[in-house]
């Protein structure tokens, strides 16, 4: 991979993150109320010394720009995002970290399932264009594509949890339950995870299948596929070694770009199932006007998305020599 | 795409109209286009005259039904926790959802197309800065920014019960925020088309006879990117309806002017899901899916009709 390609991608990622921090700073100062109260939240037992220490630390007695901005960047880089309003005494970073695990579990697994199934479905229906799987799959993909995640979640919840009683209706674990061993604990989480996971995967499968299908269709008219046919290779071999590797390329960037959109879905799916992750945290913070936590969520999610895009660009560069310019 | 002939000023008006009728006819001939248009027609009529079909929006005071009553002869779609008819609520929510979607789409497309044309035609430093900003909005999770901006702007403005043209200020904030956060892909698409149009002979000719940049952009570039703008508007509308629904669902709706997302949020709030009261969320949920589905079908049909590459492949 060329050094120029690498530098350009890195620089653009750094610039994007800088812009996110700038937006966060501007939002932070646009908020009603004094900034020091904002930073301390409802921290119990705030004395005059603590208040002055905060003013000092964040440069609140100095001009807004550049002093306060520089202080803000410094604090952000050290992971100091202020205190939560609602969870008195906890820093925003602590609150975020406590909710990160469930979200990673739900969406990490959801992405994996959706990538595997969505790409397989798309590749198969594109290859057998006009067949039964293609027609049915296309209709289902289009339908899933137009359904917001949370509606899908509500439908699954009311059918499989409320009506049939196969799965619990909310949370990640049964409240107050004593576990006999680790396996028992895992089993409980898995039962709670099943429906939200199905929601996330189904929501994503539609998009991945649609993209993979059109990607496969594009490769079918390429010269190298015609050549492979002319050589007399069997169909399965053409698909596996000629069409698939090339058709997979665009999906790499789609998966990364998607993470940004998945975020909106993440928030709502967690709300439907009361899954204790970053999504429910966002909604709790929103209704309590807990702005420091909201900003923390925004910063964390945007930086994650930027890094995912950077990773996708780099992987793309390794896979496809044509873009390394 | 229309032929790259230099349109005379007197010619552009009537010619554009005939092109649009052709477009409509071509769309209706495709099953996906026809179904999409029919669904949208039904919802548009409901949104235009909700009072004609179900009377005024019921309130806790005027509601007559039982609490969370199942569908019956009197209340075909059941009632909510205040005893309001779900049919009444859903039809009125159609109006709010469609109006917010439409206004947000107008802002998004106007900003995106305007910026795309100017940026592509002028080029240079303006283009560079505008496109870096567009890229930024494309990459980051705009939904999270939208929800922070919405609640922040409302806190700063202190939107109580203020209304502008019959729409509550709190909802107009959502309209503006959706516009701010979703113009970038439109701008990108229109700009790249403008870049190729700029090099065509008819633009050169116009420049040589002394036409100003503004005139060229309005009279020569805009008519030629119109098809692209129309196709983009359809997809933007679907996205705007989805964003509004999602924002309302996480608690940013307005109970006094409920949209579909607001009704869904209320359903979740009273535990309709755990109680199995499906009639509380199926009507608004099905409406959202149908409308977005219709826009997607229409978008696909438009793409088939307008995209010359696809036509050739058929």
Contacts of B243 in chain A (CB under 8 A): 264
What dihedral angle (degrees, nearest 10) is formed by the CA atoms of B271, B277, B281, B282?
A: 160
Nearest to B152 among A31, A162, A260 (CB): A31
The answer for residues whose C-beta is within 8 angstroms of residue B87's C-beta and 6 or more apart is B54, B75, B76, B77, B283
C-alpha to C-alpha distances, A324 to A215, B48, B136, nearest whole angstrom: 21, 53, 22
How many angstroms separate the CA of residue A149 from the nearest CA in chain B? Answer: 9
| Residue B163 parent element (H or E) | strand B163-164
Confidence band of B7 (pLDDT split at 50, 70, 90): very low
B141: helix, strand or coil = coil
How many angstroms separate the CA of residue B209 from the nearest CA in chain A? Answer: 40
Confidence band of A32 (pLDDT split at 50, 70, 90): low
Contact by Cβ (8 Å): B190, B112: yes
Confidence band of A43 (pLDDT split at 50, 70, 90): low
Nearest to A297 among B132, B144, B276 (CB): B144
Phi, psi (degrees; rounded to nearest 5) at B85? -70, 130
d(CA A287, CA A276): 16
Q: Which of A222-231, A304-313, B35-44 has the highest mean pLDDT?
A: B35-44
- Say if residue B81's pLDDT is above 70: yes
Q: Among A9, A107, A203, A268, which would you mutate to test the B interface (most chain B Cβ atoms within 10 Å of its Cβ)?
A: A268
Contact by Cβ (8 Å): B302, B20: no
In this prediction, what percent of chain A has a pLDDT beyond 90? 0
d(CA A152, CA B245): 14
Q: Which of A152-156, A245-249, B13-17, B82-86 has the highest mean pLDDT?
A: A152-156
A167: helix, strand or coil = coil
Could B274 and A162 be called an inter-chain contact, meaning their C-beta atoms sit closer than 8 Å? yes
- Say if residue B109's pLDDT is above 90: yes
Give me the mean pLDDT over the A287-316 stretch. Answer: 84
Could B143 and A287 be called an inter-chain contact, meaning their C-beta atoms sit closer than 8 Å? no
- Say if residue B2's pLDDT is above 70: no
The pLDDT value given to residue B1:
40
The residue written with tokens 């070694």 in the block is: A241
Could A151 and B268 be called an inter-chain contact, meaning their C-beta atoms sit closer than 8 Å? no
Confidence band of B314 (pLDDT split at 50, 70, 90): very low
Give me the mean pLDDT over the A48-63 stretch. Answer: 70
Q: Among A96, A153, A286, A312, which would you mutate to test the B interface (most chain B Cβ atoms within 10 Å of its Cβ)?
A: A286
The residue written with tokens 């200020």 in the block is: B169
Confidence band of A182 (pLDDT split at 50, 70, 90): confident
Nearest to A157 among B132, B249, B273 (CB): B273
- Say if residue B313's pLDDT is above 60: no
**Helix (H), strand (E) counts: chain A:** 13, 0
Nearest to B152 among A27, A163, A287 (CB): A27
CA-wise closest residue to A89 among A35, A42, A39, A51: A42
Give me the mean pLDDT over the B297-308 stretch. Answer: 79
Confidence band of B110 (pLDDT split at 50, 70, 90): very high
Buried b or exposed e, range B91-112, using 16+ CB within 10 angstroms: bbbbbbbbbbbbbbbbbbbebb
d(CA A173, CA B172): 40
Contacts of B293 in chain A (CB under 8 A): 142-143, 146
Contacts of A19 in chain B (CB under 8 A): 136
Contacts of B97 in chain A (CB under 8 A): none
Instruction: State the average pLDDT for chain A.
Output: 79
Could A145 and B242 be called an inter-chain contact, meaning their C-beta atoms sit closer than 8 Å? no
Q: CA geometry: angle at B54 spanning B48 and B55, to 5°? A: 90
Cβ contacts of A56-65, under 8 Å, gap ≥ 24: A60/A35, A60/A36, A64/A29
CA-wise closest residue to A266 among A224, A301, A236, A291: A301
The pLDDT value given to residue B8:
43
The pLDDT value given to residue B19:
58
The pLDDT value given to residue B24:
80
Could B250 and A283 be called an inter-chain contact, meaning their C-beta atoms sit closer than 8 Å? yes
The pLDDT value given to residue A36:
65
Could A272 and B139 be called an inter-chain contact, meaning their C-beta atoms sit closer than 8 Å? no
How many angstroms separate the CA of residue A3 from the nearest CA in chain B? Answer: 22
Give me the mean pLDDT over the B101-115 stretch. Answer: 93
**Global pTM value:** 0.83
CA-wise closest residue to A103 among A289, A297, A308, A311: A297
d(CA A282, CA A264): 11
- Say if residue B3's pLDDT is above 50: no
d(CA A7, CA A9): 6
The pLDDT value given to residue B148:
86
| Neighbouring-strand partners of residue B188 | none
Could B289 and A287 be called an inter-chain contact, meaning their C-beta atoms sit closer than 8 Å? no
DSSP label of B278: G
Could A15 and B242 be called an inter-chain contact, meaning their C-beta atoms sit closer than 8 Å? no
Give me the mean pLDDT over the A171-195 stretch. Answer: 75
How many angstroms separate the CA of residue A155 from the nearest CA in chain B? Answer: 9
Nearest CA in chain A to B284: A151
Could B155 and A289 be called an inter-chain contact, meaning their C-beta atoms sit closer than 8 Å? yes
The residue written with tokens 């339908």 in the block is: A143
Instruction: State the average pLDDT for chain B.
Output: 81
The answer for residues whose C-beta is within 8 angstroms of residue A230's C-beta and 6 or more apart is none
- Complex ipTM over 0.90: no
Nearest CA in chain B to A148: B242
Residues of B engaging A, defined by a Cβ cutoff of 8 Å:
132, 135-136, 139-145, 147-149, 151-152, 155-156, 238, 242-243, 245-246, 249-252, 264, 268, 273-276, 278, 281, 285, 288-289, 292-293, 295-297, 313
Give me the mean pLDDT over the B43-66 stretch. Answer: 78
d(CA B171, CA B251): 12
How confident is the model over A106-141, as pLDDT tens digits?
888 888 898 888 888 888 888 777 777 778 877 787
Could B274 and A142 be called an inter-chain contact, meaning their C-beta atoms sit closer than 8 Å? no
How confident is the model over B216-257, as pLDDT tens digits?
888 888 888 888 888 888 889 988 998 999 999 888 888 888
Could A302 and B140 be called an inter-chain contact, meaning their C-beta atoms sit closer than 8 Å? yes
Nearest CA in chain A to B147: A286
Phi, psi (degrees; rounded to nearest 5) at B259? -100, 180
Could B276 and A143 be called an inter-chain contact, meaning their C-beta atoms sit closer than 8 Å? no
User: The tokens of A242 are what?
Assistant: 């000629």
How many angstroms separate the CA of residue A153 from the nearest CA in chain B? Answer: 10
Give me the mean pLDDT over the A143-160 stretch. Answer: 83
Give me the mean pLDDT over the B54-65 stretch. Answer: 73
Confidence band of A288 (pLDDT split at 50, 70, 90): confident
Could B141 and A261 be called an inter-chain contact, meaning their C-beta atoms sit closer than 8 Å? yes
| Neighbouring-strand partners of residue B85 | B79
DSSP label of B167: E
Give me the mean pLDDT over the A263-280 stretch. Answer: 84
d(CA A11, CA B234): 35
C-alpha to C-alpha distances, A301 to A38, A205, A267, A268, B177, nearest whole angstrom: 21, 22, 11, 15, 19
Confidence band of B116 (pLDDT split at 50, 70, 90): very high
Could A16 and B148 be called an inter-chain contact, meaning their C-beta atoms sit closer than 8 Å? no
């Amino acid at each position: 991979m060329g050094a120029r390609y690498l530098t350009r991608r890195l620089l653009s990622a750094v610039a994007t993150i800088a812009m996110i921090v700038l937006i966060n700073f501007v939002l932070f100062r646009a908020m009603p109320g004094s900034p020091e109260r904002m930073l301390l939240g409802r921290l119990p037992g705030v004395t005059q010394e603590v208040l002055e220490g905060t003013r000092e630390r964040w440069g609140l007695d100095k001009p807004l720009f550049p002093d306060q901005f520089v202080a803000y960047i410094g604090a952000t880089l050290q992971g100091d995002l202020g205190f939560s309003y609602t969870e008195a005494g906890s820093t925003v970073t602590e609150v975020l970290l406590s909710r990160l695990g469930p979200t990673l579990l739900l969406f990490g697994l959801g992405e994996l399932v959706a990538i595997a199934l969505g790409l397989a479905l798309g590749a198969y229906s594109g290859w057998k264009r006009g067949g039964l799987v293609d027609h049915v799959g296309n209709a289902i993909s289009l339908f899933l594509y137009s359904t917001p995640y949370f509606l899908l979640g509500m439908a699954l919840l009311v059918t499989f949890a409320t009506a049939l009683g196969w799965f619990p209706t909310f949370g990640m674990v049964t409240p107050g339950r004593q576990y006999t061993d680790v396996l028992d604990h895992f089993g409980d989480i898995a039962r709670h995870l099943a429906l939200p996971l199905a929601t996330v995967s189904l929501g994503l499968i539609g998009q991945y299948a649609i993209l993979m299908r059109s990607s496969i269709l594009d490769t079918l008219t390429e010269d190298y596929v015609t050549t492979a046919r002319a050589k007399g290779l069997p169909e399965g071999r053409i698909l596996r070694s000629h069409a698939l590797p090339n058709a997979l390329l665009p999906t790499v960037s789609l998966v990364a770009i998607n993470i940004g959109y998945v975020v909106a879905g993440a928030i709502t799916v967690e709300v439907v199932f009361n899954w204790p992750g970053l999504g429910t945290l966002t909604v709790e913070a929103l209704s309590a006007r807990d702005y420091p936590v909201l900003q923390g969520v925004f910063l964390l999610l945007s930086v994650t998305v930027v890094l995912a895009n950077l990773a996708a660009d780099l992987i793309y560069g390794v896979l496809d020599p044509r873009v390394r310019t | 795409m229309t032929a790259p002939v230099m349109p005379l000023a007197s010619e552009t008006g009537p010619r554009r109209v005939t092109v649009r009728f052709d477009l409509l006819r071509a769309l209706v001939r495709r099953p996906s286009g026809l179904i999409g248009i029919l669904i949208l027609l039904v919802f548009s009529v409901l949104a235009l005259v909700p009072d004609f079909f179900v009377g005024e929006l019921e309130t806790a005071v005027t509601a007559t039904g039982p609490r969370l009553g199942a569908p019956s002869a009197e209340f075909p779609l059941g009632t909510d926790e205040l005893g309001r008819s779900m049919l009444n609520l859903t039809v009125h929510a159609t109006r709010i959802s469609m109006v917010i979607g439409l206004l947000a789409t107008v802002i998004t497309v106007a900003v995106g197309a305007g910026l795309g044309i100017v940026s592509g035609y002028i080029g240079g430093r303006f283009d560079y800065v505008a496109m870096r900003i567009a890229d930024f909005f494309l990459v980051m999770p705009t939904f999270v920014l939208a929800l922070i901006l919405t609640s922040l702007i409302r806190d700063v403005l202190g939107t109580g019960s203020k209304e502008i043209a019959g729409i509550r200020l709190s909802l107009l904030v959502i309209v503006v925020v959706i516009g701010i956060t979703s113009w970038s892909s439109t701008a990108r698409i229109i700009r790249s088309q403008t870049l190729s149009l700029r090099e065509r002979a008819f633009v050169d000719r116009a420049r040589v006879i002394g036409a100003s940049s503004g005139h060229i952009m309005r009279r020569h570039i805009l008519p030629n990117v119109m098809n692209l703008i129309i196709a983009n508007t359809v997809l933007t509308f679907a996205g705007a309806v989805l964003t509004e629904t999602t924002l309302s669902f996480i608690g940013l709706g307005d109970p006094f002017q409920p949209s579909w997302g607001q009704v869904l949020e209320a359903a979740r709030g009273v535990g309709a899901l755990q109680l199995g009261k499906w009639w509380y969320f199926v009507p608004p949920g099905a409406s959202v899916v149908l409308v977005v589905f219709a826009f997607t079908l229409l978008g696909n049909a438009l793409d088939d009709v307008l995209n010359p590459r696809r036509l050739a492949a058929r």
